[in-house]
Each structure stands twice: as structure tokens, then as C-alpha cells.
Amino acid sequence: MSSGATCKVRLFYLTRRSFRRSHIGTLTENSRSLHTRPSQCPNAPYVSPSPPRMRESEKDDDDVKPFEDIPGPRSLPIIGTLHHYLPGIGQYSFSRLHHTGLRKLQQFGPIVREQLIGGVTLLLLYDPQDIEVMYAREGRYPMRRSHTALEKYRLDRPNMYNNGGLLPTNGEVWWDVRRRAQRVLSRPPCVQSRLPHVNKVCQEFTEVLDELKSPQTDQVGDFLNLERRLLLELTMVATLDVGLGCLQGGSGEGNEEAEALMTAAHESNSTILGTDNGLQLWRLINTPLYRRLIKGQDTIYRIAQKYVEAKEAELKAEGWSVESREGPLSVLEYCLLESGLDKKDIIGVFCDTLLAGIDTGAFTLSYVLYNLACNPDKQEVLAQEAKQLLDATGGEVTPKVISEARYLKAVLRETYRLRPVSIGVGRIMQDDTVIRRYKVPKGTVVVTQNQVSCRLPQYFPEPDTFLPERWLIRRSTTHTDAPHPYLVLPFGHGPRACIGRRMAEQNLHVIILQLMWKYHVGWDGGELDCVSNLINEPDGPLLFTFHPRN
Ligand code: HEM
């Protein structure tokens, strides 16, 4: 191995502080990108001061092994490892990626190489130190390989979109949209300005719950349906500045726009995995899957455009100036007046938020409630916290309430650990890199397996137990037993992390506190696991019971 390469490997194992000290002024192209990468990331991982620890076996980094030596499932010409996933014959499953991930870990160890159909090489990482290395090398503009068909859909329509949008686009074009969009979507005052609206929608939600639930069983049928309506309403109110009335008249059923949006978002999301993987015939012809994506996206675009243009007309009528608005600017107003995004990009960003913001929130809420219902003692601690905080405000979740709700945050973090909505994150390596003493070539697609690792006993004692208290332990600054900071990363990490994290967590804080304040939540279903459908969704109906506390 060359000394330059050796130096780059060593770089990862320095403590973060010494890393900063030692590399200022020693810029290779790679280290430069580490230091000047976009810094406004609002989504730092749960901070722990523990540095990446150097493995004994890696102190001598002279012998780097070839990529081909990384163990993994046997692949065949053309179809790669597809045969391993065939129902009835194969040992793996696309719909249970977390079980498949665990199986591969047991078979091959913490780094796994896999040749997919279509010539894509995948690298699975389980060890948080390796995941940290991947992030350290993600470069100035981190690249993902996802939503490829969505990108084509948008690029084929230059009259509607300037580019592929946040989810699929890579490189400078992505950053140009991202840096402007995050000034709005991730900016604390912008997000917080929506809090009164979020409270109102969540209060309405609990009233609807009261109306709908059976007096005999305290159930509302499959709760997921209601959760999706709630998250859609919250996303619309928070981004497009308009309530759709998704919960009106009880369930909101019959509200055409809400129905159309929910179907469109779900349909679009459910085509992503199928179009990203495989032979990508949709690049040549409109396959049935690609047609479903078109239909879903046409609907989302139409509705987003309608509300952006309505707000644009309103602002024009009022003189198109910040001063003409009363109170804090809404997200949409800020986007139009201040962000520097043009109208096509604004519509594109809101299309992405409708795609990324509904099911992620609904599924996370499902898993939080499931964990609380199955652990009534923990639920009581949270209910006490909710009572103490909300009795004083008459049920209003204020910024102060959120900042003081410590147990709530521990409950959320423990849910992210046990039941995250994504298995991990994906990145395309932008340089040749060494990971775990293997040479990983530029262009390799890495998928971290955080969901699997978060249940391993070497990282978390009693890994399958729901124990929010593990996040409340006060540790000294020299602790060595704190969880590695690259294990629980439900929103990803770095400049490409979820742009909607603040919004998503604000919604979750409000609805969970309000539900805990009003109800004992019980569970009438069987054990809940997840199926992988781009993100992890509950694999059975959500049979919660909501029994009033007073
Ligand atoms: C609990 C809810 C949510 C979870 C768990 C979640 C998780 C994630 C994850 C894991 C990523 C990929 C990050 C990476 O590659 O490093 C992501 C990206 C993204 N999320 Fe979220 N998300 C949630 C809610 C939201 C909401 C509410 C919005 C919009 C308001 C949103 C918009 C986006 C967008 C646009 C991206 C792509 C960002 C980019 O590539 O620059 N998400 N999210």
C-alpha cells in the first residue's frame, strides 16, 4: 500500500479532536472535502464524545486486501445473487431485509459484498466504526443511488422540473437545491412557527379518535389509516400552508384531495425499490411499475402546484414583500420570498416532502405506540411526564414543554433503535477507500445495516428489550460504555441526512404527548414486525385501544 493511502487509512482512526488538529493544512483532495463539506447540517447524530476506536488488528495497516476477498453470497452471471431471493428456493427475502441482513452477518461477518442483478455491487456494513469511516469519506456532496425512476420522470419533464429533485439527484445540482431548501425546512424558527398549527391538528385528531373509537372495545380498527391522514394533514399544514381537512367529519374519508394524495404517495413509494433494482427496463419502455410512478407523481405535482401558485398569487396581491406579512413567515412564504429557490424547485421540494414525510412519520408513530402499549410501566412514566407538563399548559405543547420532555425523547430514541423506518442509509463511494482492511473501489454502493446492529448484544445490553432509561444515564466525558454514535441514525447523518427531521420530530413530540395525556394505549394485536417496502412498514394491522385516562 502506498504511503499516501496509508495516511488516508490512519486518518479515520484518529480521535475527532486530534483529527481536526492534525489535518488542518494537510489537504489532499479527500481531506479537503471533509473539511469544507456543507456545514449547515442540522441533523448531527446523537452526540457521543467517544472517538472511533482503533482495532488492535488494524494498527498495522500495510496489508490491504482486494475487494474481491470480501465474503458474501455466491453470485451467478447476469442475475447476480437474485436466485437467493427467489420465494420458496432462496434463503433471503427482499421483504424482510432486516432478517436477511442478520442472516448475512451470521454467515459472512460484519462486512459483506454482494453482486446484484444489473451489475451493481453492494457492500453491507454492520460495524459502527466502519459506518463512521463510510461517512467520513462521503465527500462534499454525498451520493445515494435511489429513486432512479423518479429522476427520469422529472428529467423527462423540463416544463415542470429543473432537475430530479432532492431524493434522487447527486452532485452540485443536489447541493444547489438542498442548501436553499434546508434554510427553510430545517431552520428552527421556521419549523417552530408551525407548532401552534401542529397542536391544533393533533387536538383535532384526538377528538376524531374519541368519536370513532368503539365504546365497547376502545378500538378504531386499523389505526394506520388514521395515522396516515394525520401525517398528511400535518405535512400539508407545515409545508404548503394549507389544511386539507383530512380528518374532517370523523375519518376524513370522502375528502378527494386527501385520498388522492395518500394513494399517490403510497403508490409512488411502493414503486421505488422495484424500479431501483433489477434490469431497469423502464429506461426503455413504460413498464407497469413505471406507469404507476407516473400516475402517482402526476397527482402529487398537480396538488403541490395548485397550492404553491395560490400562495404566489396571494403574495403578489399583497405587494410581494416580507413586510406585508403579519407574524412569522410560513414555510411556503419563506420559500417564495426568501429562499432563492425558483418556483419549479419549490414545487419539486414539496413533492419530495409529500413523498418522504407521510409514511415515515406514520410508521414511526405506530412503533412508538406499540412499544408503549407492550410496556405499560414505561407508558406510565411517559404519561406522568405528559401530565406534569401539559396540565400546566391546558394541553398545549409549547417549545418549553418539548425541551423539558426528557423521557419522551428517550422513548423516541429507543424506538429508533429497535424499530427504525429504514434499515440504514445508502451511499455511493466517491473515491477508492479502505474499509476493514479491504480496498473498496470508487462507485461501490454501500448500505449500512444499522437496524441489524442496533439489536446486537455487543452494542446494547438486553438488545431486544424496550428500555428508554438506557438513554437517560448520565455518563462522564471519559465513558467507554456509551453507545457508539454511528449506531442509532434513524435520519441518516451528515449533509445528506433527512431534511425534514426537525419537522418530523416536532410532529411526533406533539402527538405522542397529547395521546399520552389523554389515553392509556393498549395493544390487541399479535407481535408486530416490519416488512421492507422501501421503508419499514408494520407487518400487521395496528389494533390499538385508547382508553381515556380521566
Ligand atoms: C420519522 C420521520 C422520518 C424519518 C425516520 C426519515 C428518515 C430519512 C432518512 C433515513 C433519509 C436518508 C438520509 C441519508 O441518506 O442520510 C431521509 C431523507 C429525506 N427526508 Fe426524511 N425522514 C422522516 C421524515 C421526513 C419528513 C417529515 C420530511 C419532509 C418534510 C422528509 C424529507 C426527506 C427528504 C426530502 C430527504 C432527502 C434529503 C436529501 O437527499 O437531501 N423526511 N429521511
Q: What is the pLDDT of residues 123-147, one digit of tens each?
A: 999 999 999 999 999 999 999 999 9
Taking the centre of ligand 1 as the mean of its atom positions, its distance from the CA of residue 353, in whole angstroms, is 8
Mutate which of 345, 491, 532, 535 for ligand 1 pocket (most atoms within 8 A of beta carbon):
491
Would the pTM count as exceeding 0.80?
yes
Can you give the pLDDT at residue 201? 96
- Mean pLDDT over the full length of the chain: 87
For residues 516 and 376, is the Cβ–Cβ distance under 8 A? Answer: no
pLDDT higher than threshold 60 for residue 56: no
Q: What is the pLDDT of residues 63-121, one digit of tens each?
A: 899 999 999 999 998 899 999 999 989 999 989 999 999 999 999 999 999 998 878 89
Can you give the pLDDT at residue 163? 96
Q: What is the pLDDT of residues 223-252, one digit of tens each?
A: 999 999 999 999 999 999 999 888 876 555
**Confidence at 25, pLDDT banded by 50, 70, 90:** very low
Can you give the pLDDT at residue 9? 31
**Confidence at 319, pLDDT banded by 50, 70, 90:** confident
What was the ipTM of the complex prediction? 0.99
Q: What is the pLDDT of residues 177-220, one digit of tens each?
A: 999 999 999 989 889 999 999 999 999 999 999 999 999 999 99
Q: What is the pLDDT of residues 139-168, one digit of tens each?
A: 999 999 999 999 999 999 999 999 999 999
Q: Which residue ranges are tagged as binding site?
A: 498
pLDDT higher than threshold 60 for residue 293: yes
Can you give the pLDDT at residue 337? 92
- What is the C-alpha end-to-end distance of the chain, expressed in Å? 69
Q: Closest Cα partner for 513 from 411, 408, 415, 412?
A: 408
Atom of ligand 1 nearest to the CA of 503: 27
| Percent of the chain's residues with pLDDT above 90 | 74
Taking the centre of ligand 1 as the mean of its atom positions, its distance from the CA of residue 356, in whole angstroms, is 6
Atom of ligand 1 nearest to the CA of 178: 41
Q: How far is CA 7 from CA 23, 67, 433, in A?
A: 11, 19, 12
Can you give the pLDDT at residue 249? 64
Q: Which residue ranges are tagged as binding site for heme?
A: 498
Spatial distance between the Cα atoms of 223 and 217, rounded to a whole number of angstroms? 14
pLDDT higher than threshold 60 for residue 484: yes
pLDDT higher than threshold 70 for residue 44: no
Judge if the beta carbon of residue 8 lies within 6 A of ligand 1.
no
Spatial distance between the Cα atoms of 262 and 267, rounded to a whole number of angstroms? 8
Q: Closest Cα partner for 45 from 522, 491, 505?
A: 491
Can you give the pLDDT at residue 61? 57
Show Cβ contacts of residue 384 under 8 Å, excluding neighbours closer than 6 positions.
none
For residues 258 and 251, is the Cβ–Cβ distance under 8 A? Answer: no
Can you give the pLDDT at residue 7? 34
Judge if the beta carbon of residue 72 lies within 6 A of ligand 1.
no
Can you give the pLDDT at residue 11? 31
Judge if the beta carbon of residue 361 lies within 6 A of ligand 1.
yes
**Confidence at 254, pLDDT banded by 50, 70, 90:** low
Q: What is the mean pLDDT of residues 317-344?
A: 88
Judge if the beta carbon of residue 421 lies within 6 A of ligand 1.
yes
**Confidence at 277, pLDDT banded by 50, 70, 90:** confident
Can you give the pLDDT at residue 91? 95
Q: What is the mean pLDDT of residues 14-18?
A: 32
**Interstrand relation of 445-448 and 121-125 (parallel, antiparallel or unpaired):** parallel
Can you give the pLDDT at residue 322? 81
Q: Closest Cα partner for 422 from 458, 448, 456?
A: 448
| Percent of the chain's residues with pLDDT above 70 | 87
Spatial distance between the Cα atoms of 183 and 54, rounded to a whole number of angstroms? 37
Highest mean pLDDT among 40-49, 241-250, 259-268, 476-485: 259-268
Q: How many CB atoms lie within 10 A of CB 350?
A: 28
